[in-house]
Chain A
Amino acid sequence: MRRLLSLLLSVGFLALFSSATSSDYHEQLLLRPLHPSLLLASFNFQSNTSLASFEQQNFRYFPRSLGQILQHANTRELHLRFSLGRWDAESWGARPWGGAREGGTGVELWAWVEAETDEEADGRWLTLTNALSGLFCASLNFIDSTRTTRPVMSFQPTGDHSNSTLSDLHLLHGTLPREVVCTENLTPFLKLLPCKGKAGISSLLDGHKLFDASWQSMSIDVRPICTPGSDDCQLQITQTIDMVLDIQRSKRPRDNPIPRPIPEEELKCDTSKPYHSGDTCFPLDAASQEEDWSLSQIFGHSLKGTCSLAQDGADPVCVNVPHARHVYASEGALEYKDASGYSRCFKIAPDKDFELVLPQQEISEKTPLEQPLLYAERSFIGYGQEHGGVQAILTNPSPTKAVDFVYMESLPWFMKLYLHTLRAKINGLDEDIIKEMYYRPALDRKRGTQLEVRIVIPANSTVVLTYDFEKAILRYTEYPPDANRGFDIAPAVITIGDVAIRTTSLLLPLPTPDFSMPYNVIILTSTVMALSFGFVFNLLVRRFVAVDEADQWDFRSVRVKLRRF
């Protein structure tokens, strides 16, 4: 398992660290078939620029628009994530990049901002979110103080910061679980790349395919890296896109996307069945067959040459399949097989289109799945409109190793957490496994709850973390337009060293009022007030006489009067 992890990372992730010192550009696509009939495509783009030219605002590989924002907001390190869908760890194994390039559903942003005071940091954070919101066409400007936390145990800077700046750095973290990531976020993302989706692996990226994926994540990381012992510092920007594509679904032609039954002559029937005849067919089990696919089928078109800026010698396309699997590449491409037996990479001719075809093949050997360090599930428990509870199930699948991790929740203020109800049960037993806890209670309409818990799970154990909360009643104007949909609760972040895992987001239903209520209240109170006023007024002003003394309404005289007109 470890060997596989190192293999996976050595292709891209670790290569980034080794090649970090030169001013360069690097890109790589890693394709990994997942079971059943899915394909994980990991795009990685990375460029370095010297910190000196960044400060002089001479931008070459580093995007100018982002660079200006970072300088304007005094941001020293930035991490931005756009994600959609759920990573199915049970059948897909460990996350790509160990979860380091992935965010919770919606948009997640955390950054180290240089400022002398907390207020100054908040101001710069506001500038940053507003500017990024404009750059990426996302509602990042809605990350206000109620959605911002300052994590204490969960996040650590990944860049090299000098000790003097480190003391002035403020970590701020914000999430927007409600944000729907879509094509308008991909377009600015591609514009940040030097080759802009015109050449190289980025030419495969297409909004139709990306947002049709079962799971996808886009990330941008900016961090300074310095060679130890010298002042030679560089600023590194890493952009990744990971997506899990359904091969069957992607192969549907775009102009005719409705799935249709397989024609009769192409059906593969199990002829050993007694009822098999000309009009009955029991389909053969196709699970042993590897799905056939090609780049142009999956992404809509083939790869358009290489991005000529990437000159670090890394192979731009890698596929993680056993060596026994047939892989056909287009002419001019060179194939390099990895010694591990499960990976091969391709060197591409610069100006030619590159195509990769994997035919259908019966093969018993499968690329082993890497086991994740932890399985995490989170859901609501409880009932009613007033109270509720959250339950997180965390399983350590390793038979030998204990896992030490930090579980972080940032809850909105209207979800009032009762900390005394926080329980951690291990394998059904109450045991003291919470090593450390950081809790920052919510302030109504000002900030949300922040809860960080450090837990150690022994090998092969399951921890169930539960707590109760109360639902606050919001003011009339605080409800969103579709209030009955519920409120999205940001995913919990589980940090295990460098690896980060996020649970899915939750949908919290709050008691919603009838929104025509204020006008009804106005009408009702007005009516009551007018009635009582009229009653008192008439009592004081009217003269009371006997019935036979009162003036009578004479309908006939009215009729006579009307006729006169």
Chain B
Amino acid sequence: MSHTFDALSQIVDPCDLLTEPEDLIPYGFDGTAALKHKATCVVTPRNVEQVQAVVRWARDEGVPIVSRGSGTGLSGGSVPVDSGIVLCLVHLDQILEVDPANLTILCEAGVITREIDEAAAPLGLFYPPDPGSMKISTIGGNVANNSGGLRGLKYGVTRDYVMGMEVILPDGEIAWLGSKCVKDVAGYSLKDLFVGSEGTLGLITKVLLKLVPRPRARQTLLASFDSMEAAARTVSEIIKRQIIPCTLEFLDRKTCQCVEDFAQVGLPTEAAAVVLMETDGVPSVVEDEADAMEAIASENGAISVERAEDDAHAARLATARRTAFSALARIRPTTILEDVTVPRSRLVEIVSFVEEVAKKYDLEMATFGHFGDGNVHPTILTDETDQAEMERVEHALSDIFDKTIELGGTITGEHGVGLAKKPFLPRQFDTASYRLLSLVKKSIDPEGLLNPGKIFDREEPASA
């Protein structure tokens, strides 16, 4: 091990190489419950040259690399692996260019997601993807996991904003993928291969992102319903009337109670379902859409529909919603969050199925999520030290994944496969597509050095 430390301390400043147990234990996990593994060492390079040098060293020595940013991932994607090093990119945190003529922003991988939008705002520009952890998640991590957020329905997800990137390949070469061009069909869209690759294909060091004009107005509404069906009918009707709000979030009773307990923003805590709706854009259109959504909710049996008092109140409501997952941790010691996604029209079916599963396995569960995207977050509130209960949790998850696939859905809408969904991935893919998936990994990272054991099981490198 001291050989490794010596080599790495030649590359980075000694204070950027962490080797003591007190330093390493806090890098043993990400935001995923019940997954941890102690790192052998952590390197925190200060520039791309250092990252490249670390990758080259790892290639020569055959040492696996797990890359990470702020470690807020929700599938165990950045949990350390045996005999591998952790490469943490938080110090690559510079915004390199905002280009108002081409509506792009170029940043290093360690830039915090929210800072991108903050840099765009003074120019009247907007970076829409807003994952729950945007106050601390890094853009590199967002791109590597193709993160979603609350605005997916209208604005899409991280992938829709990635125009280019700088990647360090497993052999240590630096590749630039994509361009500032709105149209670009030169060859395969390689950048798209790396979006959502979870650190298994290369290390993303710079990202070129698309910005859009900042909406001039927004209106936020909060509707409560005495049944999930009534809430779902409202959402279907809104979309049927060709209104595409930026946000259509739902929270069940338990989630509302926990969020309200933390944030005190005035969420109804007795309704069976609460829907947070937000429309943004041109002021007059926003006004019309807000009126229409209010009417639709009332027609479809909303107990109450309230409008946010002002922008600050609206922002507080959205911020509160982003804390839903963490706030649910108030109830039980371990909080297991899933992100199954189904075609929008099947949403009520999956939500009722989750309720049945909770009853069947005698588990405490809450559900919230993105109604407009069909992306649901069934959350199991449990205790990892209770083995019998954890077994029931496994069964429940398995049932939920099967049902999701049956409904034409996907086992993960925005969190990624990592370690947590790996066992279930083959259920969703047919033989040919799963083979293709592993073929991509093998062609780009034949030695299996980058984030091994994530998405796929770790393969022993073929002996030469």
Do A and B come from the same complex?
no
B contacts, CB < 8 Å to A: none
Chain A: residues with CB nearer than 8 A to chain B?
A: none
